[in-house]
Structure 1
Amino acid sequence: MKVALVGAGLIGQSIANLLRETGDFDVVAFDRDEHALALLDAQGIATRRVDSADTSALRQALIGFDALVNALPYYLAIGVASAARSAGIHYFDLTEDVRATHAIRAIAEDSVQAFMPQCGLAPGFIGIVAHDLAKRLDDVREVKMRVGALPEFPTNALKYNLTWSIDGLINEYCQPCEAIREGRTQWVQPLEGVEHFSLDGIEYEAFNTSGGLGTLCETLAGKVESLDYKSVRYPGHRELMKFLLDDLRMASDRDGLKTMLKRAVPSTAQDVVLIFVTVTGMRHGQLVQDVFTRKIFAKQVCGMPMSAIQITTAGAICAELDLFREGVLPQSGFVRQEQVPLDAFLANRFGKLYEGASAIVAERALAAA
């Protein structure tokens, strides 16, 4: 399969190396950043300098490819998906933006090509897990999805380091969040719904952020009483971010906030990704709760060091592209994350990056309510 990888940042580089390693994908990386392309050139990966914001130029560059993998920031997703539609090739991306996903669904309408956004960690893998657990129940009461991309060794007041797209981080902290409450889909505010929990002796907090549910609200509408997604952080992070966004009104100055965070908050490759999903409901007349957790740490993959967020994000989109290539997924139109079978994902050569993590998969019976 000939793949155009659009976006040669850290995640794009990880995707390129994972796909190239198999020998089943002919990858060409597109970007306008000569330095980023030079890094891939040095690793023996073909590159092409293209301005991804120029839809017309991108469409021409895509001729002859089978699929496009978009590893660019969310605000470029609609234009890139439009270029893929015009070029007649399949489309996969990592966007967490709700508006972009709705627009891509419209682009995919009546298409003979597949359009599959939200192929990362959250949205993405987290929705695959939640949907699979929900299917195992006769009646679903509650679905809770929690994900954290955290520094392994927090040292600053925010107890946070930049481990992925800063644009995506700000977007999920500022946009309204979908949820289901008492069986009704509704919008809730970001940074609200704070809860605290501990796992493996470490204390965490979680709160509403945008986009992590993907299309699950629509898929599970009328089938679940309560459904929500929250980002996991170390205690105290949410209060400081709320101070910045609300009290100092930085939510209305995203460029200023981005500049501030880039200047003050260092990045780290020593990170950990925490995945925590609980689904509660009835099975064979008994109230049960299924729990799926993973802790994934930075490590060497394909002979190169990768952070946990690189492993989980790149691993997820590569697994879904591979399953698509094998015919496991729908081959045309808009494809939802919850159409990916969890067993097939975890058995996939890329999906096994998730299986290599410390894992607890448990079911426990609850007293009847």
Structure 2
Amino acid sequence: MKHIAIMGGGKIGSMIADFLAGCGDYSVEVFDRSSEQLDKLETSAPIKKTVLDITDAAALKAALSGKFAVLSAAPYHLTVFIAEAAKAASAHYLDLTEDVASTRKVKQLAQDSKTAFIPQCGLAPGFITIVAYDLAKKFDKLQDVRMRVGALPKFPSNALNYNLTWSTDGVINEYCEPCEAIVNGDLRETSPLEELEEFALDGVTYEAFNTSGGLGTLCETLAGKVRNLNYRTIRYPGHAAIMKALLNDLGLRHRRDVFKDILENALPTTLQDVVIVFVTVSGWKDGMLVQHTYANKVYAAPIGGRMRSAIQITTASGICTVLDMLAQGDLPTHGFIRQEDIPLDRFLANRFGRYYAETESHNAAA
């Protein structure tokens, strides 16, 4: 049995703990600075809960001693602390961050590491990166890669058409930080909340706009090989305009603590959500210009006797699948590992990856 440390006992951390402890192959210990948060954790199998200040480097290293891997479900600004401690403790490292700067530092830590460093193992970046690269490999020559993901309430009932289903810090960060894209062959930074578009899926209209971090390392991987590559977050129409007014016109991008407090006291959470994954890739194959599309919707569902949100299921199954593949010898055991290094078919065949496979509504063209 492999010993696993999970940093962060929030909505996603609790789902990760439930998946791993429930399968019987992992001994799980969850760390959080809040004893109240740990007391709220409910899992279908026994886990250990430990109060820990993650910013205490010595205590963090001691906590990771003897662990096979550490999985970070903590806020993005703690990513580097945890990655540094993982390296010092010789534990494999996996995280869910969308933060570009943190991932660059994780990559530096991995350069001479004897253990694996696998950041961005969630939904986006994460699963969508695996899907996009799998589609891209089917072409002789790429043209455009468009990646769209959204975690949305099934029953929107406020002006933002949104409920809190994910980390509030993470949402604000991806709405404020610069975005990466390849535009007409050139790698560029683009502005968040811009390049608004609308599309329909299964008769429902959505909007999508630039947000930071969703591409993972794909810009670097596909540089010089694709004309256009971009990532946009999916929301219901009208969301982006209100967010731009709050963040730009009212200046809340410079007062993130205030904005976080507003959102968490105005927008209720919900377990009645849907995650949408929509990837379109075009290019040349056998002398013809063709397009392949992957579209999938994942809904909230009962797992282990408890109702779990779609964002909990998709995010936790992503990082648990990558951990499982690492433990089973299906991935390299040292250095930096990109999401696009993970084969889609083996991901979906995994006992945790099946939560994506079981809900697929549209299959990509062969």
Query: Please, what TM-score do these two structures have when normalized by structure 1?
Result: 0.97
Q: Which amino acid aligns with 1:213?
A: L
2:29 matched residue in structure 1: 28
Figure out how many residues of one structure are paired with residues of the other and give that number. Answer: 364
Residue 115 (structure 1) aligns with: 117
User: 2:327 maps to which residue?
Assistant: 325
Of 236, 253, 256, 1:254 maps to: 256
1:358 Cα deviation (Å)?
4.1
Moved over 3 A (4+): 39-43
Q: 2: distance between equivalents of 1:362 and 1:58?
A: 43
Query: For residues 54-100 of structure 1, what are the alpha-carbon distances to aligned partners after superposition, in whole Å with 9 as ceiling and x for unaligned?
Result: 12211011111111011101000001100111111110000000000
Q: Is the CA contact 1:288–1:363 (under 8 Å) kept in the aligned structure 2?
A: no
Distance change (3 Å), C-alpha of 1:148 and 1:42: closer
Match for residue 197 of structure 1?
A: 199
Code of the residue aligned with 1:274 in structure 2: it is I
Aligned partner (choices 238, 244, 247) of residue 245 of structure 1: 247
- String of CA shifts for 1:145-168, please: whole Å, max 9, x gaps: 000000000000000000000000
Matches within 5 A, 1:278-293: 278-293=280-295
CA contact (8 A) 1:95 1:118 kept: yes
> Aligned partners of 2:100, 2:151: CA distance in 1, in Å?
20
SS at match of 1:51: coil
Q: How does 1:13-92 map to 2 (within 5 A)?
A: 13-40=14-41, 44-92=46-94
SS at match of 1:359: coil
Whole-angstrom distance in 1 between the partners of 2:140 and 2:42: 52
Equivalents in 2 of 1:6, 1:98: separation in Å?
Answer: 20
Corresponding residue number in structure 1 for 2:218 = 216
Measure the CA separation in 1 of the matches of 2:321 and 2:252: 37
Which residue does the alignment assign to 1:367? none
Give CA deviations for 1:158-180 in whole Å, capped at 9, x if unaligned: 00000000000000000000000
Gaps of 5+ in 1: 365-369
Indicate the RMSD between aligned Cα atoms, in angstroms. 1.1
Contact conserved, 1:89 with 1:113, CA < 8 A, in 2?
A: yes
Q: CA deviation at 1:229?
A: 0.1
Give the aligned partner of residue 297 of structure 1.
299
Q: CA deviation at 1:327?
A: 1.0
Tell me the secondary structure at the aligned position of residue 363 of structure 1: coil
SS at match of 2:253: helix
Q: Which amino acid aligns with 2:117?
A: F
Contact 1:40–1:46, Cα closer than 8 Å, also in 2 = no
CA contact (8 A) 2:198 2:206 kept: yes
The structural deviation recorded for 1:36 is: 2.3
Aligned residues: percent identity? 53
How far off is 1:362 after superposition?
Answer: 3.9
Of 149, 172, 175, 2:177 maps to 175
| Code of the aligned partner of 1:220 | L
Other-structure match for 1:126: 128
Asked if structure 2 preserves the Cα contact closer than 8 Å seen for 1:41 and 1:47, the reply is no
Following superposition, the deviation at residue 290 of structure 1 comes to: 0.5
1: CA distance, partners of 2:39 / 2:181: 43
Distance in 2 between residues matched to 1:296 and 1:216, nearest whole Å:
24
Task: Provide structure 2 residue ranges, at least 5 long, that are not aligned to the other structure.
Answer: none
TM-score by length of 2: 0.98
